[in-house]
Amino acid sequence: VTYKFPDNFWWGSAASGPQTEGTYDGDGKGESIWDYWYKKMPDKFFDEVGPADASRFYHTYKEDIQLMKATGHNSYRHSIQWSRLIPDATGAINQTAVAYYNDLLDELLANDIEPFMNLYHFDMPMYLQEKGGWLNRATVDAYVSYARTCFELFGGKVKKWFTHNEPIVPVEGGYLYQFHYPCEVNMKHAVQVGYHEMLASAKAVQAYREMGQDGQIGIILNLTPSYPRDEHNPEDIKASVLADAIFNRSFLDPSIKGEYPPELVALVKELGILPDIHDNDLAVIRDNTIDLLGINYYQPRRVKAKETPVDRERSPMPDDYFDNYEMPGRKMNPHRGWEIYEKGIYDILINVRDNYGNIPCFISENGMGVEGEEKFRNADGVIEDDYRIEFVRDHLKYVHQAIQEGANCLGYHMWTCMDNWSWTNAYKNRYGFISVDIHNQWQRSIKNSGRWFKQVSDNNGFN
Ligand code: BGP
């Protein structure tokens, strides 16, 4: 085996509750912002399947777990849906949800698949969003109490917890670029929302330790390594450093170092949009850093000094400070419009090694969204997604190299296990090791990539 990975490497995939489970009569689930928004503004969505179906995992998890086994999973990330466990403002616990999550966890464990559980994957309960969601400090308290409930209920089975998936995304989507509800454009709100998410994360870490739980707790961040157009041009470098502070270090630094990057603090001060910070908050953030970092990597961010004029009439935006740089010749995934730059995954791991104390970490998402995969289905009914094998293999080579050079990377989870419902894009881009035929009783079938991944996992590497 040329590319051999460390013993006990985590091979698996990631998914989320809202993108897979669906909502059913009698399940007791309350509404999240996605259920609400989908009903209210269906035009915003790529309209094939909605969150009420997702991939029907709520009903199919037992069979799906067998498919995880068949594709070499020794671990799998899912998320608890807050609105399923605590469906309304009374705070009462939905016992049907408790039974479901217990069953799901038991089934994973019985199949030797370690469950990694995330507490928040973009899915604010609607009863909290009506009171401002992350903008309202009361949501931080509600979140911590929800987190405690999860640790209490499931901490015996789950040894790897995550406070958030990609906390910068609800900031960008909900308060800057309008691809999550409530679709505002307001940088002051964006800063406050991000701050509350971070505070909630630190407080959940604190609660986890106070409760004497015996696992690890971390956060999952989407890191977009920032590359300047010209690495000798000070203006390009400045723009790139700032983009990195806004989109990566805004959560990376407080989560691991317990403090915000000075560039970011200076920027929000200059704009007069410091968040509302209470006494002791910063001490909580300082003292409750994470055990384990999940890294989602899809694409780099290429940046150049600002050239296009800034519209001063509107609310300030992060991109008042830099322009995106469309580097000639860069490799693109035409389906998702994202650049494919395999070495980015290595650069992140080396950055974590050198600048973040080489904290234990793993690749918690990486993957390739492809439209129209049905056309690659062969006569035996198997989707020949060899482009996905190439994508994963080329990224894994760089992960391997980083590990050889001392990076403390413990696993690789692809996004995703089964094709699933993906926010406003629904089923447009497929990401799974396993295809889901939404027009034919949600039938599952393992793609070539899933077969390949089984071998990789069995051999703990590849040639
Ligand atoms: C990540 C999210 C996932 C998933 C994935 C693919 O940012 O954590 O929830 O959706 O991206 O992106 P998309 O579905 O938008 O193509």
Delineate the domains of the chain, giving CATH numbers in brackets: 3-462 (3.20.20.80)
Residue nearest to atom 15 of ligand 1 (CA): 422
Prediction pTM value: 0.98
* Alpha carbon distance 148, 103 (integer Å): 20
pLDDT tens digits, one per residue of 346-394: 999 999 999 999 999 999 999 999 999 999 999 999 999 999 999 999 9
The per-residue pLDDT of the chain, averaged, comes to 98
Q: Which of 365, 371, 373, 390 is catalytic?
A: 365
Task: Tell me the average pLDDT across 432-451.
Answer: 97
List the Cα angle 366/338/382 in 5-degree steps.
60
The residue to which tokens 């909580």 are assigned = 284
pLDDT tens digits, one per residue of 288-338: 999 999 999 999 999 999 999 998 888 899 999 999 999 999 999 999 999
Measured in residues, the chain has a length of 463
* Alpha carbon distance 12, 31 (integer Å): 29
Give the distance (Å) from ligand 1 centre to CA of residue 33. 16
Of 238, 216, 220, which is closest to residue 228 (Cα–Cα)? 238
Amino acid at 314: R
pLDDT above 90 for 48: no
- What is the DSSP-derived secondary structure letter of residue 315? P
* Alpha carbon distance 29, 451 (integer Å): 35
pLDDT above 90 for 42: no
pLDDT tens digits, one per residue of 150-180: 999 999 999 999 999 999 999 999 999 999 9
Q: How much of the chain exceeds pLDDT 70, in percent?
A: 100
Phi and psi for 235 in degrees, rounded to 5?
A: -70, -40
- What is the DSSP-derived secondary structure letter of residue 212? T
Q: What 3-state class would DSSP assign to 73? A: coil
List the Cα angle 55/58/62 in 5-degree steps.
100
Task: Tell me the average pLDDT across 405-409.
Answer: 98
Q: Is 365 a catalytic residue?
A: yes
Pocket perturbation via mutation, ligand 1, pick of 44, 122, 422 by most ligand atoms within 8 A of CB: 422
Give the distance (Å) from ligand 1 centre to CA of residue 222. 10
Task: Tell me the average pLDDT across 408-422.
Answer: 98
b/e sequence 373-387, b meaning 16+ C-beta within 10 Å = beebbeeeebbbbee
Which residues have C-beta atoms less than 6 Å from ligand 1? 16, 19, 165-166, 222, 296, 336, 365, 369, 415, 422-423, 425, 429
pLDDT above 80 for 47: no
Who's near 227: CB < 8 A, 6+ residues apart?
A: 240, 300, 301, 302, 303
Strands (E), 367-450: 370-371, 409-415, 429-430, 434-437, 443-446
* Contact between 317 and 353 (Cβ < 8 Å): no
Q: Is the peptide bond before 182 cis (omega within 30 degrees of 0)?
A: yes
Angle of helix 95-110 relative to helix 137-154, nearest 10 degrees, comes to: 50
Phi and psi for 194 in degrees, rounded to 5?
A: -65, -40
* Alpha carbon distance 29, 33 (integer Å): 13
* Alpha carbon distance 338, 369 (integer Å): 9
List the Cα angle 223/225/226 in 5-degree steps.
130
Q: And the tokens for 20?
A: 């897979």
